[in-house]
Structure 1
Amino acid sequence: MATLQTTHPRKKATNVSQGWLPKLSIMDRYLFTQMLTPFLFGVGAFSSVILAIGSLFELIRLITDSGLSIWTAFQIFGYQVPGFMVYSFPMSMLLATLLSYSRMSGDGETTALRSCGVSAYRLVLPALVLSLFVTGMTYVFNEAIVPAANWQSRSTLRAALNQENLQFKKQDIVYQQYGEVPQDDGTTRQGLVRSFYARSFDGKEMRGLTVLDFSQGQIQQILSAESAVWLPDQNVWKFSKGTTYLVGADGNYRSILRFDDQNLKLPRAPLDLAQEQRSAEEMNIEDIRRNIELLKQSGNTKEIRKLEVRLEQKYALPFICVVFAIVGASLGMRPQRTGAAIGFGLSVLIIFGYYLLLFICGALGQVEFLSPIAAAWMPNLIGITAGFIILTRVT
């Protein structure tokens, strides 16, 4: 008698894979969905608070006191939203991880998962992955959206209030060029090569110019002109109606040469310096680098240091999301349960402490007590170290 053989269908895999995407276990999908709702809530809540404090009250004051139209106020408000929203991303990451893991810990879900052999480090992995995604989103906002929106906001406000357009400096443009200066013993050293001064600038033409040449270690010539324009096709300055004074080694004039028009191959930097009026919040990484190079030619060490710190912070700040995710998940997995109100309050305290540390480190970087890299990344290093210490105590 033939026996009947039956085959049992294979169980469906608990992991989900979509092409090139990594496999997601049921636990991972569950944790992602648990964090998504408080994250979106945090973005809305924190953005609303920051916008109200940093923008809305001031716009209402301008409407009532300065006659700013409501429609223009709405435009400015819209331009300012990305700049304030980007600050809410790391805050929301902290709130989402803290509330999600705290609720799971309070309901015994983390205990059940760990009894099945899931380590605390494995439980934190979904929060880390989500934080890396939010980090990338924060970086894109900071680079592609926020600088242009902040600049447009300021320009719209000035135009609406009939304020002076500060897209370029209109008076007293001073530029000092530094380079290698020969010494009497045949060596060279870094020193002042040329000093450039213009009394006024209308965006195209500079007027009332004086250029002092120190390229040989002492003043060699003085150029004075009524006006000058930059010729981009020839990469030179065209000076008009001026006089060149050649100075001898004894300090007396060797000759005086008057001219109607004269082209001189001087740096374009004075024009760039007059046109650059954006703050660090209105510049992306490439803009900051370009400004640093420009300022290095002028020898403005204080402003150079400030921009170097801000440049490193442009790289470091998005990674606050990773720091807050690890800290929030580690705190949430502790045995005691944290309610929504307590979690929100604890998030605010951690955020305040972190940004206070960020401000202190930034100030220390600007006074050269810390290097720009240390000033920007030290808060992240301290935060992530504290998060892992808490996590090891949970395990």
Structure 2
Amino acid sequence: MKDKLKLFRIDRYIIKKFLGTYIFMITLILSISVVFDINEKIDKFMSNSAPLKEIIFNYYLNFIPYYANLFSPLFIFLAVIFFTSKMASNSEIIALLSNGVSFKRLLRPYMISAAVIAVFTFVMGGFIIPPANKTRIDFEQTYIDPRKRKTGDRDIQFKVAEGTIVYFGNFDMESKTGYNFSIDHFDSLKLVSRLTAYSIKYDSLYHWTINDYQIRNFNGLEEKITHGSAIDTIIQIIPNDFIVANSDQQMMTTPQLYRHVKSQKERGLGNIQAFQIEYHSRYASIFSAFILTIIGASLSARKVKGGMGVNIGLGLALSMAYILFMTISSSFAVKGSMSPFVAAWIPNIVFIGIAFFLYKRAPN
């Protein structure tokens, strides 16, 4: 009973150290990041007359949780290395191991802490932060870099329903108007009707107005042609289905991402790699929290010459390697050279091997 009480106290001590250091590191690093970000963007804030209220509430209050959540696994990693190295340098790890506490048992509070943070960041990143990102990104596109706003696209073709293909020669997002529009209806592989129009304008709730159109209906060798100046119709698409900005995936909750990817695949649209990477990365980040925790604890539990600085240096090197893996694999996936699933998970796959190697070499 006494042994269990002692272990409970040890667990509570490590969890407190873990979570406290994690919060401290997030606060410290993000505070520095905000200062640098203000210094970099203050000219744009002033030249574009950004209101102070919007800078604080629309931008920075959404900037901080987004980046804290995005780099949460790395904050976990650095926090583990920092406080575990300090425990090792104070001979606390040696004292625990010499009193019969195995390294495997010592990892239990680490895993509990990592689980708490992983679940919290998954819920935040998957359901709470995406709506807030819309406010932040709108601010960026208005006051920082308007060029990031997606204003249109050309040569857009996709399926809207079984046997129905639409085509836009080009589409202007600001006016919600497409030009050189056509819609083809097929029965199996046989074309039964074709509508062509000079322009088509989106209203709301799938309501479109087609201007200066021609409809050709085919019945065997017979063809019937109808002309008109304007016609209202319902088409099960909206501009955001095919006009995609680089940051759109950041504004979708996890269920919305899943539905969007599924819908775009069914319609034959190919610009979904970034959405797939974002979707898989949200799940991969859960496991990365545990993998990086094991690496950090295994690396820092041993007392080494040079003290805590050596472990922190190794930790930073591994952090940079992890970020490099994520960046390279994501780039390959966006270009279509790699599966988005593999791109999201390959850093974890590589670092599982590192975690296993370091765990086996950890003191027991």
* TM beyond 0.5: yes
Q: How far off its partner does 1:135 sit?
A: 0.7
Superposition pairs of residues 120-199 of structure 1, within 5 angstroms:
120-160=103-143, 174-177=156-159, 193-197=164-168
Superposition pairs of residues 240-255 of structure 1, within 5 angstroms:
242-246=213-217, 254-255=223-224
Kindly indicate whether residue 16 of structure 2 is the aligned counterpart of residue 33 of structure 1.
Answer: yes
Give the aligned partner of residue 251 of structure 2: 282
Q: How far off its partner does 1:329 sit?
A: 0.4
1:350 to 290, 314, 318: 318
Give the aligned partner of residue 221 of structure 1: 194
Give the aligned partner of residue 300 of structure 1: 269
Give the aligned partner of residue 116 of structure 1: 99
Counterpart of 1:392 in structure 2: which amino acid? K
Q: Deviations over 1:3-35 (max 9, x none)?
A: xxxxxxxx878539xxxxxxx612212222333
> The residue matched to 1:334 in structure 2 has which SS?
coil
Q: Do the aligned partners of residues 12 and 114 (structure 1) sit closer, same or farther apart at CA in structure 2, a change above 3 Å counting?
A: closer
Kindly indicate whether residue 54 of structure 2 is the aligned counterpart of residue 85 of structure 1.
Answer: no
Q: How far off its partner does 1:136 sit?
A: 0.9
Q: Which runs of 5+ in 2 are unaligned?
A: none
Q: How far off its partner does 1:335 sit?
A: 3.3
Q: How far off its partner does 1:228 sit?
A: 5.5
RMSD: 3.7
Give the aligned partner of residue 55 of structure 2: 73
Give the aligned partner of residue 5 of structure 2: 15
Q: How far off its partner does 1:244 sit?
A: 1.1
Give the aligned partner of residue 98 of structure 1: 81
Structure with more of its chain in helix, by fraction:
2
Q: How far off its partner does 1:79 sit?
A: 1.9
Q: Do the aligned partners of residues 164 and 380 (structure 1) sit closer, same or farther apart at CA in structure 2, a change above 3 Å counting?
A: closer
Q: How far off its partner does 1:132 sit?
A: 1.1
Q: Which runs of 5+ in 1 are unaligned?
A: 1-10, 17-23, 182-192
> The residue matched to 1:315 in structure 2 has which SS?
helix
Q: Are the aligned partners of 2:153 and 2:170 in contact in 1 as well (CA < 8 Å)?
A: yes
Q: How far off its partner does 1:205 sit?
A: 6.7
Q: Deviations over 1:45-84 (max 9, x none)?
A: 222344455x334322313544434443323222211111
Q: How far off its partner does 1:122 sit?
A: 1.0
Q: Do the aligned partners of residues 365 and 226 (structure 1) sit closer, same or farther apart at CA in structure 2, a change above 3 Å counting?
A: closer
Q: How far off its partner does 1:338 sit?
A: 6.0
Q: % of aligned pairs identical?
A: 18
Q: Do the aligned partners of residues 179 and 359 (structure 1) sit closer, same or farther apart at CA in structure 2, a change above 3 Å counting?
A: same
Q: Do the aligned partners of residues 151 and 215 (structure 1) sit closer, same or farther apart at CA in structure 2, a change above 3 Å counting?
A: same
Q: Are the aligned partners of 2:181 and 2:198 in contact in 1 as well (CA < 8 Å)?
A: yes
Q: Deviations over 1:287-328 (max 9, x none)?
A: 222322332244233x23342232211211233221221111
Q: Deviations over 1:145-168 (max 9, x none)?
A: 3222221012134445795995x8
Kindly indicate whether residue 321 of structure 2 is the aligned counterpart of residue 331 of structure 1.
Answer: no
Superposition pairs of residues 194-205 of structure 1, within 5 angstroms:
194-197=165-168
Q: Deviations over 1:264-296 (max 9, x none)?
A: 664x12544257645222222222223223322
| Mean Cα deviation higher: 255-264 or 114-123 | 255-264
| Mean Cα deviation higher: 120-129 or 57-66 | 57-66
Give the TM-score normalised by the residue count of structure 1: 0.76
> The residue matched to 2:186 in structure 1 has which SS?
coil
Rounded Cα–Cα distance in structure 2 between residues aligned with 1:129 and 1:305? 33
> The residue matched to 1:290 in structure 2 has which SS?
helix
Rounded Cα–Cα distance in structure 1 between residues aligned with 2:285 and 2:148? 31
Q: How far off its partner does 1:367 sit?
A: 4.6
Give the TM-score normalised by the residue count of structure 2: 0.81
1:62 to 44, 50, 67: 44
Rounded Cα–Cα distance in structure 2 between residues aligned with 1:62 and 1:248? 61
Q: Are the aligned partners of 2:77 and 2:293 in contact in 1 as well (CA < 8 Å)?
A: yes
Give the aligned partner of residue 329 of structure 2: 361
Q: Deviations over 1:160-183 (max 9, x none)?
A: 5795995x85676834228877xx
Aligned length: 359
Q: Do the aligned partners of residues 145 and 338 (structure 1) sit closer, same or farther apart at CA in structure 2, a change above 3 Å counting?
A: farther
